[in-house]
Amino acid sequence: MDKSGNMAAFQGAMVKAYGGVLIVADVLLLLIKILYYILEGIYRLFVPFEEKSVAGEIVLVTGAGHGIGKELALKYASLGATVVCWDLNQQGNEETVNEIKGMGATKAYAYKCDVSNREEVFKMAERVKEEVGNVTILINNAGIMPCRNFLDHSPEEIRRIFDINVLGNCWTVQAFLPSMIQRNSGHIVALSSMAGILGLANLVPYCASKFAVRGLMEALSEEVRGMSKDKISNIKFTTIYPYMVDTGLCKKPRMRFPSIMGLVSPKEAAIEIIKAQRRNIREHSVPPCWLYVNGFLRPLPDEGIRATVDFLDSGVEPDS
């Protein structure tokens, strides 16, 4: 081999060695980052982030006519936000707005909207922009939860579950995210469920829809983050995983230990949701302990998880 050949081989070896050194350095840096974020996470368990102000924000809440949605609307209004209430139930929606105005807040608006209807969502979104302004915080709360054996669900009912619980999230995000991207500012909150983390009997389509919401939010967050060159976006995403909430949807709850696993009140759920949003927490369960319990259980063998589920004996019975 001539000198030029030897030089080329030497340069190639150097390039490979340099590439190897860079990979090792990147791995070490990754490990340092992981350790740092673990320590930060432990620290934040005891010293949480300060809650950011929502005064002056335009908050749109779907399913605001009752339950968690109503409590969210009331709480955001009390914090100085302009609240836009969407619900298919016009009477309940207007009652929420009237209650807000009875508190002394005047910046509350009611719109009848079926979130499963994409055309209607975009039409109402345009009205909101013209009459109220750009939505800065979107709370996707609307959902339905029929409780019955999977084989007893009609095709129409299964489609309706996904139309509202999943596609409703898609349509509202498509309607309001573009203006957030344009301003590089905003926050999207979606209510999944603990049934979106752990499958439960008599809730098969509902669980599937809430697992879908979880995936939607995780992927959407990464996609929006990737739009920024430095992968830092001012658009925040929060996914909420409530345990069984006393909204009337859970008609026949089953629990072995009601003193520690009782139904969560809508007001308690709303407080936790808003707290998570104001602290920019990406994932939060209501009560907060359940995500930690899930994290502990998941590495266990399958039979160990099933044994724990059987011991807790918590779930829902079929609606009559």
| Residues forming the active site | 206
**Who's near 122: CB < 8 A, 6+ residues apart?**
171, 174, 175
Pairing mode, strands 186-191 and 82-87:
unpaired
Question: Rounded to whole angstroms, how far apart are CA atoms 61 and 58?
Answer: 10
Question: Rounded to whole angstroms, how far apart are CA atoms 88 and 142?
Answer: 9
Q: SS3 of 255, please?
A: coil
Diameter of the chain by CA atoms? 91
What is the 3 state secondary structure string of 59-89? EEEECCCCHHHHHHHHHHHHCCCEEEEEECC
Q: Give whole-number Cα distances, 232 to 49, 235, 256, in Å.
A: 18, 9, 45
CB 196 within 8 A of CB 214: yes
Question: Rounded to whole angstroms, how far apart are CA atoms 24 and 34?
Answer: 15
CB 75 within 8 A of CB 119: no
Neighbours of 115 (CB within 10 A): 27
CA 208 remoteness from chain centre: 15
**Cis peptide bond N-terminal to 287, omega within 30:** yes
